[in-house]
Amino acid sequence: MTALRASVIAEARSWIGTPYRHQASLKGVGCDCLGLLRGVWRELYGAEPETLPAYAADWAEASGAERLAEAARRHLAEISVAGAEPGDVLLFRWRPHLSAKHAAILAEQGRMIHAYDGLAVCEVFYAPFWQRRAAFAFRFPAAGARVPYSRAQNSGACSAA
């Protein structure tokens, strides 16, 4: 496993036990699934690459667009779900006709780390329930690699979740 992948997993694990809080991203205080990814990003790369607008719990159902996947494409490298390895990000759909609206970080030995509504950040098996719902996979960029997005390209407007 590369140092980057190990760092992603170690940082995600350091969030375990953080209570679920919609729109939050503060280790030990609260986060949602996107907040967990944002926190891991900050630890690895520094400032978040874009500012998120407020989002309602039903944002994916309301828009119908793949806003979470679109945001991930601006900052992470898209890979196939089948090619996902420990340290990669998975996005899930609750139903085939709905937009992806849940995220997790794949860990070793068939496990994943995520923040789940009503629970704290936890590490669980990447069980068939989750595997059937995995819709997208992304890889964090290597240290020093050009992230495919910059604030100069987006004057603060964000169409992400």
* CA–CA distance, 90 with 106 (Å, rounded to integer): 7
The pTM for the full model equals 0.86
Count the neighbouring beta carbons within 10 Å of the beta carbon of residue 131.
14
Q: Is 49 left (phi over 0), alpha (psi -120 to 50) or beta?
A: alpha
Mean pLDDT value across residues 95-115 = 95
Supply the mean pLDDT for the chain: 87
Q: Tokens 């910059």 — which residue?
A: 150
Q: What is the pLDDT of residue 62?
A: 62
Q: Could you give the CA distance from residue 156 to residue 158 in angstroms, rounded to a whole number?
A: 6
Q: Angle 33-45/3-14 helices, nearest 10 degrees?
A: 130
Q: What is the pLDDT of residues 31-41, one digit of tens each?
A: 999 999 999 99
Q: How confident is the model at residue 76 (pLDDT cuts 50, 70, 90)?
A: very high
**Structural domains of the chain, ranges and CATH numbers in brackets:** 3-142 (3.90.1720.10)
Asked whether 111 and 126 are in contact (CB, 8 A), the reply is yes
**97 CB neighbour count, 10 Å cutoff:** 7
pLDDT for 52 equals 79
Tokens of 153: 């390209």
* Res 40: pLDDT: 97
CA angle 18, 20, 23 (to 5 degrees): 110
Dihedral, 118, 123, 124, 130 alpha carbons, nearest 10:
70
